[in-house]
Chain A
């Protein structure tokens, strides 16, 4: 079952004198439970594609349907609400709130959703334990390593019970051991809990783990490879 459908998606930037066609007629679908990587060189349009998938940017033309909702024409505040309830984000630079502990960072998004204290606390503990940080609940980001911070970010992304998680270069700032550890955790969550992960990356380690690799060049999809061999 498709949870995401992109149809003839275009994104043109006119901010400079030169018109930039960052995404150029992309058609793409994602099914529930995918572990996919969008790859490509810098400036290929993978981040723009990911931003539009996440409702952080709007297409110039085309249609984005997520769980039967066309988000291409939602207003700014509708998009904020849509993101809150449907999409989990993991960013390259972790982007945790530095003044909150690991537990509070994970709880934060559930505060935004207005979930009750008992539910928040139980889910936070469950998620931080799942990412191997059950003993670091009260540590602030500054007391955690990069890998640990990114694992908190994964827990935060999952806390809102999203339909899928978008991870933009999640391993770019991590060493090999942390990268492997993080990818193992995300793969396990994907397999055991059927959580959909979509990465934008040019990290070979991520591509290796991904079961689907979509290559983007000059705003176009040049290949879409599934690890079982289908293309």
Chain B
């Protein structure tokens, strides 16, 4: 067929490439989330998730104990190894300020001088100047500092100096007595780290497990109960003759698009009046009501297409409507029931609006969507690893359902969109 059509191979290539491009475009955001959820907090802030498989240069702060300080001339000297006794790490750079934690390479000396500068108007002032220079060399002062003042190099006085080797050996010099632990910054390559730590944190310390169970508690009854109610109604609308049937079907088509927002205030008031209030019972009833139009519509459309012969011959044989429904129509309608069940499951699991209104607003009753939107995005705003893990916990179950039952979902979509 393709050959007869004379499809050019160039077009096939272009099609393949553009589909690959679109698929990647669609997947990238989700993959980013998934990768980030396994990454360590520091690594997330050091490098993008797309560089997750590679080593990350991370900055560390180390405060070595000021033990064994010796005096050499005017200066006090502290020597040792930053990693304890053994030189286990590999230092990539070091420094004495958090601004520039990797300012000097191993083997160099990084020093701070107090030096006089001459401002353009002739005033003499002093400033601090940090410099890196080879251990066997001399510091070379620039002619001017950042503000454009002339540096008077001959006035330089050493304030402190640091020398670190790649294996962690260090030598710290100071012009005043070292009685507190000096602060040393180093940068080191850390290998990529993937762990379940974020999941562990969010599930154990953040009440996400509770939210997960709440979501499950909301979802299951809210999926099953409307199916029961809708199946009978759909059968009546499909296979029973009575006045007003057409009107009812039109009504249900109309109700399919009624915005949920309309129902919130009056129904919450109603629930409060009859004593249900904001509770799980309330949200089950609400989801049941909101899911019914689609359920009835989908199931009726499917049932109407069942072969007339089977149903009529069963009736001729003396089966009642109730028997026809339970013994013949219901088993045959399984695909439609499955379609609606998936819809309703995804919808209730993913819902935020109904949960915010019909469930109590205390944290004990939060479902996962509310937990993420109202709590985590605020309290854990910058903690991307935790956020990613939380989001992934909330989307994992729907994703499994989605991929396992995609066939029914597609069928339901095709039957459910108003033709």
Are A and B subunits of one complex? no
- Residues on A lying within 8 angstroms of B by beta carbon are none
- Residues on B lying within 8 angstroms of A by beta carbon are none
